[in-house]
Structure 1
Amino acid sequence: MDWRSVRFDWNRARAFLVTAEEGSLSAAARALGMAQPTLGRQVEALQEELGVVLFERTGRGLELTPSGLDLLEHVRTMGEAAGRLSLGASGRAQALEGTIGITASEIDAAFLLPGIVQKLRRTASGLTVDLIAKNSAADLRRREADIAVRNFRPDQPELIARKIKDVTARLYVSERYLEAFGRPLTLETLPQADFISLWSPEIYVAGLVQAGLPVDRSNLTVLTDSHLVHWEMLKAGAGIGVVPEFLGECTPGIVPAFDGAYTPFTFPIWLTTHRELNTSRRVRMVFDFLAEELARS
């Protein structure tokens, strides 16, 4: 192969790939943490280098041209190869220093992990912890994080997972709401109470009904897909919510919603990393540290 003839710029290819996947230059720039004009220049330079038009503007933003569609799979393969290269290199890093990316849900990141992360930093002061709070699952295969704290078992063969424990959640409410409701919360009065929905309202109601609670869609008076918003609305007195015991039992002004019998909610905590990263001393140490601390939390 004549390597002197290969002048392909991976940064331009990456700009094209992320723009295609995000659907706009602005979204791609945010994903890459760079200025939109810079990203646009990289995409334009790639088009000039290849001699093809990759995108066309429509009323909905950018759409791939036929040439762009043809080239997208090739560039996606390059991106996956670059990710594997990065994973392989990280997996061989043996120093207990550098940045470690940990992703968890908003509730776990805000209320389970702060003390653990601080203890970790005292143990390994050379580490910089990038704590990524998001309720959607980060893609460990694409290096969006090194380690994930999840409430489900991953099924990708590239990932290694360890179940830590099961966490119990129950119905909690603020004393402020109970005062406004004006009567005891029982299974008989529950159909008149307000609930704060989390995730899909239909799935949320189905879970409440399955637990033995006499509610329906009309009880959901506040809807949100954010765990933290759900929690803050509950504290503000907007209604009843499902909250982990480790949070509901230790917050002043928050009490169990009622003494009636119902099936509590349980969800697992899994610790997950990529199998390539599992050979890194840094990642292995943090993984084992988190497993031990989460198990006792």
Structure 2
Amino acid sequence: MTEANWDLFRLFSVVARTGSVNRAAHELGMSQPTLSRRLKELERYVAAPLFFRASSGVKLTQEGEDLQRSAGEMMLAFDSFQRDLRSRVGQRSSVVRISATEGMTKHWLLPRVKKLRELNRRIYLEIISTVNQQSVATSDLDYVIRMGDPGENDLIGKRVADIPMGIFASERYLAARPVPRSLHDLKDHDIIGHTADFVSFRNIRPSQRHVLEYFSTAAGTRSVVRVNPVANHFAAAGVGLGLALLAVPFAQAEGLVQVLPQETVTMNVWLLRRRESDLRKLTREVRRFLEGEFAASKAWLAGTHRTSRPTRRKA
């Protein structure tokens, strides 16, 4: 044996404590011949006898006593390490980190946190609310709720919902302007955002691309403000700055009015994770909860819970 095996020191400590190879073997759940063979390996490694063997049991040699003191210190240090490790692992395992867009966080995720906490008080959520695509690997995230392109190939998950993107404005804005009756009319309206804000849309259905093209073209000539993050487009529309392309359910929740409701762009919603996330029990619970809540709220996410009617300007 060229290197010391930690397990040999553990076996030695049990034999030294019990004073008997037979009793130690029984306590360790192994056969007496196997334990004796392992002890001889340790004696060959230290190049010294560790026990005086007798019919009544074993007694430590001088070398054995020295090793017992050193091994005892190692065992205490290892026990302390194990307790510290369990504590640290336990603390991280009770935290579930989720990244979601600002709109998804405000209008869908946060309203469900209380229900999740009622199911399991041990769960502690850390939510990163951002429109940027967070990397699960580099950010130590457990889940990413992503709209549009699922992104990283090393993630697993599934599409959990579809969200329509529609054109919205405030009642104040529509009270002062003719309500758009077609996409062609967008050129006559103030637009919130910039063409660059819409080029990142991917996986748009071919039948809906014209909506994005018309809105992007209008933004290229009639953009009145560009504000980042894009989540602030809700606020910009709310104060009457112009028309904005927004997620339908979130815009409805903000009290905005949808114009041209027949013209929408559908975005897929993905719940993504690493395979390793399933090793944590609480993380698995959160996944089942989120999947169930997405299934139960598909109609709301699709914007079919209410009908928005554009306000017409009085003659």
Q: TM-score, normalising length from structure 2? A: 0.57
Deviation at 1:148, TM superposition (A): 0.9
Residue 185 of structure 1 aligns with which residue? 180
Residue 257 of structure 2 aligns with which residue? 255
Give the residue type in structure 1 aligned to 2:169: V
Q: Equivalent residue of 2:224, what SS?
A: strand
Q: 120, 144, 155: which is aligned to 2:140?
A: 144
Work out the CA distance in 2 between the residues paired with 1:246 and 1:143: 28
8 A contact 1:94–1:282 mirrored in 2: no
8 A contact 2:179–2:259 mirrored in 1: no
Q: Equivalent residue of 1:114, what SS?
A: helix
Residue 213 of structure 1 aligns with which residue? 214
Work out the CA distance in 1 between the residues paired with 2:239 and 2:285: 40
Work out the CA distance in 1 between the residues paired with 2:200 and 2:93: 42
Matched, 1:126 2:115: no
Work out the CA distance in 1 between the residues paired with 2:275 and 2:201: 37
Q: 150, 153, 157: which is aligned to 2:150?
A: 153
Work out the CA distance in 2 between the residues paired with 1:127 and 1:213: 45
Give the alignment of 1:1-297 within 5 angstroms. 98-151=94-147, 152-157=149-154, 159-181=155-177, 183-187=178-182, 189-197=185-193, 200-201=196-197, 203=199, 210-211=210-211, 213=214, 215-216=217-218, 217-252=220-255, 254-258=256-260, 262=263, 264-297=264-297
Deviation at 1:96, TM superposition (A): 11
Residue 70 of structure 2 aligns with which residue? none
8 A contact 1:161–1:270 mirrored in 2: yes
Residue 34 of structure 1 aligns with which residue? none
Deviation at 1:124, TM superposition (A): 0.9
Deviation at 1:250, TM superposition (A): 3.7
8 A contact 1:96–1:281 mirrored in 2: no
Distance change (3 Å), C-alpha of 1:201 and 1:249: closer
Distance change (3 Å), C-alpha of 1:124 and 1:176: same
Percent identity (aligned): 20
RMSD: 3.2
Q: Equivalent residue of 1:137, what SS?
A: coil
Give the residue type in structure 1 aligned to 2:180: L
8 A contact 1:160–1:272 mirrored in 2: yes
Deviation at 1:257, TM superposition (A): 2.0
1:54-113 deviation per Cα after TM superposition (whole angstroms, max 9, x unaligned): xxxxxxxxxxxxxxxxxxxxxxxxxxxxxxxxxxx99xx789972111110111111111
Residue 36 of structure 2 aligns with which residue? none
Deviation at 1:142, TM superposition (A): 2.5
8 A contact 1:162–1:271 mirrored in 2: yes
Give the residue type in structure 1 aligned to 2:179: P
Work out the CA distance in 1 between the residues paired with 2:96 and 2:180: 46
Which range moves more in the overlay, 185-194 or 264-273? 185-194
8 A contact 1:138–1:144 mirrored in 2: no
1:127-159 deviation per Cα after TM superposition (whole angstroms, max 9, x unaligned): 1111110111222113432111111223323x2
Deviation at 1:234, TM superposition (A): 0.7
Q: TM-score, normalising length from structure 1? A: 0.60
Q: Which runs of 5+ in 2 are unaligned?
A: 4-84, 298-315
Residue 65 of structure 2 aligns with which residue? none
Deviation at 1:286, TM superposition (A): 0.5
Computing the radius of gyration from Cα coordinates, the structure with the larger value is 2
Give the residue type in structure 1 aligned to 2:238: K
Q: Which runs of 5+ in 1 are unaligned?
A: 3-88
Give the residue type in structure 2 aligned to 1:184: V
Work out the CA distance in 1 between the residues paired with 2:231 and 2:198: 20
Give the residue type in structure 2 aligned to 1:141: A
Distance change (3 Å), C-alpha of 1:192 and 1:165: same
8 A contact 1:99–1:128 mirrored in 2: yes
Moved over 4 A (4+): 93-97, 204-209
Work out the CA distance in 1 between the residues paired with 2:194 and 2:283: 32
**Number of residues of Structure 1 aligned to a counterpart in Structure 2:** 204
Distance change (3 Å), C-alpha of 1:184 and 1:209: same
1:164-217 deviation per Cα after TM superposition (whole angstroms, max 9, x unaligned): 021112111101111232x23223542110111168246289999722737431
